[in-house]
Amino acid sequence: MMGFLAKRLLQAIFVIVVVTLLVSWAVRLTGDPSLMLAQGAGSVTEQDLINIRKHLGLDQPFSQQYFSFVSGLLVGDFGRSFLGGTSVSQLIADALPATLLLTFCSLALSLLVSIPLGIQAAVNQGGWSDQVIRIVSLVGLSFPNFWLAIMLVLLFSIVLPIFPPSGMTGVSSLVLPAVTMGIILSAANVRLVRTSMLETLSAQYIMVARGKGLKESVVLYKHALRNCAIPLITYVGLQFGSLIGGIVVVEKVFNWPGLGTLAFDAISGRDYPVLQATVTVLALLIVTVNLLVDIAYGLVDPRIRIR
């Protein structure tokens, strides 16, 4: 187990190094931050732009700028924002809880919806409920997240003013963004649970459990579902990366004060330190979740031995 964790940690470090290197290089293709900072200052000379670049440290070679970023990263210091001079670490600390809240609420909602529906569809294979669930899940897979977010705002914030359209003002403001991501995730998870359950329900130990007179709910949720959990856990772990990418867009639509909104603002303002830090933190989240998924295999199915 310790050897496995050591190997995965080394892989995670390699991934983070590659991500930070690519991001640090790519953000410099978005434009010159000195031009953004000089806007509205009236007549600006080339010397003024040179002075701004020197003040921001952009006059240094790329290798030195990258080394400075990584050195700060190791001690939890992401530097300061180009636009306001605010500590980037503080900006990340303020935005990260909002993103994690939305992420885990979306995942929880997806699992609460997809597991019962997937089991229902498998138990009634070929029946009307199976057909309806499969059609609805296919429709859900066809929705772009930004379109669904806009439609939910129009319906439940404007036509029926039930939930606030944007911001983070309380539990009610969490509903629309969480439902948006939850629907997208549930559509795929329902089909996965259904397929896994169909394979499991035909197994001999399920017939034995039913022959013992166990309740159908016990057979389905205690015995069958546990063996379906491995592919579901794997897929949810893989979904986490796409979920993070989707949340970046959804946060902007709902003006949710998370890392996605922070990244969008950094891109538009060419704020290198904020964008580098945001992408690095998101990459760390994805790497951590994938590691936890591998560890969860052994907890769900003791037959699996991690080496």
pLDDT (0 to 100) of residue 296 = 67
Q: What is the DSSP letter of 76?
A: T
pLDDT (0 to 100) of residue 216 = 76
Is residue 40's pLDDT more than 70?
Answer: no
Q: Which residues pair with 87 in a beta bridge?
A: 80
Q: Which residues pair with 80 in a beta bridge?
A: 87
> How much is the mean pLDDT over the chain?
80
CB count, 10 Å around CB of 228?
25
Is residue 244's pLDDT more than 80?
Answer: no
Question: CA-CA distances (angstroms) from residue 200 to 55, 123, 205, 255, 296?
Answer: 63, 11, 9, 43, 20
CA 198 to centroid of chain Cα atoms: 29
Task: Tell whether pTM > 0.75.
Answer: yes
Contact 20, 275 (CB under 8 A): no
pLDDT band at 61 (very low <50, low <70, confident <90, very high): confident
Is residue 64's pLDDT more than 60?
Answer: yes
Would you state the structure tokens that stand for residue 297, as one six-digit string? 């295999």
pLDDT (0 to 100) of residue 121 = 86
CATH for 89-300 is 1.10.3720.10
| E strand segments, 60-216 | none
How large is the average pLDDT for residues 225-240? 73
Is residue 306's pLDDT more than 60?
Answer: no
pLDDT band at 2 (very low <50, low <70, confident <90, very high): low
Domain ranges of the chain: 2-74, 89-300
Contact 19, 283 (CB under 8 A): yes
pLDDT (0 to 100) of residue 104 = 85
Token pair 């017939």 is found at 207
Q: What are phi and psi of 87, to 5 degrees?
A: -60, 125
Q: What are phi and psi of 168, to 5 degrees?
A: -125, 85
Distance CA 264, CA 241 (A): 18
